[in-house]
Amino acid sequence: MLLKSILNRVQLHRGFVYGAVRWSESRGRRVLEIEIRARKGSRPTCSGCGRRASGYDVLSKRRFEFVPLWGIAVFFLYAMRRVACPRCGVKVERVPWAEGKNHLTTTYAWFLARWAKRLSWKEVGAVFQTSWDNVFRSVKMAVAWGLSHRNLENVTAIGIDEIAWKRGHKYLTLVYQIDAGCRRLLWVGQERTQKTLRQFFKDFGQERTARLTFICSDMWKPYLRIVAEVAGQALHVLDRFHIMTHVSKAIDQVRAKEAKELKAHGQQPVLTGSRWCLLKRPENLSETQTVKLKELLKLNLKTVRAYLLKEDLGRFWHYKTPGWAGRFLDDWCKRTMRSRLTPMKKVARMLRSHRGLLLNWFRAKGRVALGAVEGLNNKAKVTSRKAYGYRSFDVLKVALYHTLGDLPEPKVTHRFC
Ligand SMILES: [Zn+2]
């Protein structure tokens, strides 16, 4: 079977025919070149307005990289025509296999972008002997296409989240859809200010915002303020995952301070290496960590008291009704305020002042995927960490949409990967 007949089956372009296939060389390696010719009598399409017009002249041949075959790079070779368009003047024609000045065929760009979901961009470049830039540009194209073709009409529940980047010096605001059955990244913005979130709602649109019934977020003031102002009709739920993060941070502060004090008094360094025993969920501890935790719990330490308060707060989320949950919360806060652990008292005060929003959790339970934010947050963190190359916001944004956006792809006759 000739290569041409395979191509005609997987990638047929109306108005064009495949010609000779031959060996050639590119940057010191053997490559395949496939000629493309315009079908006789066909008229070129103007790249300005997309309408057909008569030909003006023919430019010299250009190469377009296609999906490699058996590890051999493949190029289309085509002499672009220029059209004499009555509306746009003399313009280069539009061809169906590549966009604008891109030297990668659209099929190859989608091929790279799809691999970039499974491997790091660097790995994709290495495997297919192409540059990081080509992979990035392909992903960017896929994201742009996906964003302009996605459907946002079914969004009724969103989660607002932030992640740190640039070694924790900067924050990004991420908005997810958390409807049961549809969880994805909807939006990425710089910083975590009122202005950031206001921009999301502006981009999202008034009508869609009015359709929101659940919004899940952290206790971060700028978020709370904007949600109340812009989407007051939605049930605002404070996210369990973010609240437990605050508690973990408080334990960490208690532990660090106590470890220092113990050291200053020349006592046994019992707290050394205890950090993860205290922060991880008990069921996720290793065997050594479990033993270490058991030993720790026997000691009369501030850190231990803080830990027990955290474990106790975990019960809060298991209540069925807001009434009982509220009673538990009040009791927990009262006990914590008497604990003489400053960081923990700070948490208790924070929870008290957000009592109403916290209890909304029980009103939303079962109606929305409340745990979704944590999972998406972990994925977002991995994506931003994996990326040494994502120093700029724009690159990180593209990477996040690509991995978390669940973006649509165009329908094609043949999938190359
Ligand atoms: Zn035109």
Q: How far is the CA of 79 from the centre of ligand 1 (A)?
A: 19
Q: How far is the CA of 50 from the centre of ligand 1 (A)?
A: 6
User: Is residue 247 domain-resident?
Assistant: yes
Q: How far is the CA of 83 from the centre of ligand 1 (A)?
A: 8
Q: How far is the CA of 56 from the centre of ligand 1 (A)?
A: 12
- What are the angstrom distances between the C-alpha of 48 and each of 13, 41, 58, 93? 20, 21, 17, 8
> What is the C-alpha to C-alpha distance for residues 270 and 293, in angstroms, rounded to an integer?
11
User: Is residue 394 domain-resident?
Assistant: no
Q: How far is the CA of 34 from the centre of ligand 1 (A)?
A: 28
E strands in 302-397: none
Q: How far is the CA of 90 from the centre of ligand 1 (A)?
A: 8
At residue 22, the pLDDT reads: 94
Among the candidates 100, 115, 146, a domain finishes at 100
Q: How far is the CA of 8 from the centre of ligand 1 (A)?
A: 29
Looking up tokens 């395979």 gives 6
Token readout for 256 is: 């660090």
User: Is residue 267 domain-resident?
Assistant: yes
At residue 389, the pLDDT reads: 57
Alpha helices in 314-417 (DSSP H): 322-337, 342-353, 355-364, 372-386, 393-404
Among the candidates 100, 126, 149, a domain finishes at 100
Same domain, yes or no, for 260 and 195? no
User: Is residue 141 domain-resident?
Assistant: no
Q: How far is the CA of 150 from the centre of ligand 1 (A)?
A: 29
User: Is residue 30 domain-resident?
Assistant: yes
* Residue pair 143/402 in contact by the 8 Å Cβ criterion: yes
Q: How far is the CA of 55 from the centre of ligand 1 (A)?
A: 12
At residue 388, the pLDDT reads: 56
Q: How far is the CA of 52 from the centre of ligand 1 (A)?
A: 8
Q: How far is the CA of 82 from the centre of ligand 1 (A)?
A: 11
Same domain, yes or no, for 234 and 374? yes
Q: How far is the CA of 207 from the centre of ligand 1 (A)?
A: 36
Same domain, yes or no, for 193 and 166? yes
What domain range is 13 assigned to?
1-100
Q: How far is the CA of 58 from the centre of ligand 1 (A)?
A: 17
User: Is residue 223 domain-resident?
Assistant: yes
User: Is residue 12 domain-resident?
Assistant: yes
Same domain, yes or no, for 256 and 358? yes
> What is the C-alpha to C-alpha distance for residues 405 and 117, in angstroms, rounded to an integer?
11
Alpha helices in 128-172 (DSSP H): 132-149
Task: Give me the number of domains the chain comprises.
Answer: 3
Same domain, yes or no, for 164 and 252? no
At residue 390, the pLDDT reads: 63
Token readout for 5 is: 């007949």
At residue 264, the pLDDT reads: 84
Among the candidates 55, 81, 100, a domain finishes at 100
Q: How far is the CA of 19 from the centre of ligand 1 (A)?
A: 28
User: Is residue 134 domain-resident?
Assistant: no
Please provide residue 317's backbone torsions phi and psi, each rounded to the nearest 5 degrees.
Answer: -70, -10
Q: How far is the CA of 41 from the centre of ligand 1 (A)?
A: 19
Same domain, yes or no, for 226 and 251? no
pTM: 0.86
> What is the C-alpha to C-alpha distance for residues 247 and 326, in angstroms, rounded to an integer?
18
Q: What is the pLDDT along the chain (417 residues), one digit of tens a residue?
A: 688 899 999 999 989 999 999 999 988 889 999 999 999 989 999 999 999 999 999 999 999 999 999 989 999 999 999 999 999 999 999 999 999 889 999 999 999 999 999 998 989 999 998 999 999 999 999 999 999 999 999 999 999 999 988 777 789 999 999 988 889 999 999 999 999 999 999 999 999 999 999 999 988 899 999 999 999 999 999 988 889 999 999 999 998 898 888 888 877 677 777 777 777 777 788 888 888 777 777 777 888 899 999 999 999 989 989 999 999 999 999 999 999 999 999 999 999 999 999 999 888 876 777 788 888 999 998 888 776 556 788 899 999 999 999 999 999 888 888
Same domain, yes or no, for 305 and 234? no
Q: How far is the CA of 95 from the centre of ligand 1 (A)?
A: 14
Element (H, E) at 161: strand 157-165
Neighbours of ion ligand 1 (CB under 5 A): 46, 48-49, 85, 87-88
Same domain, yes or no, for 204 and 246? no
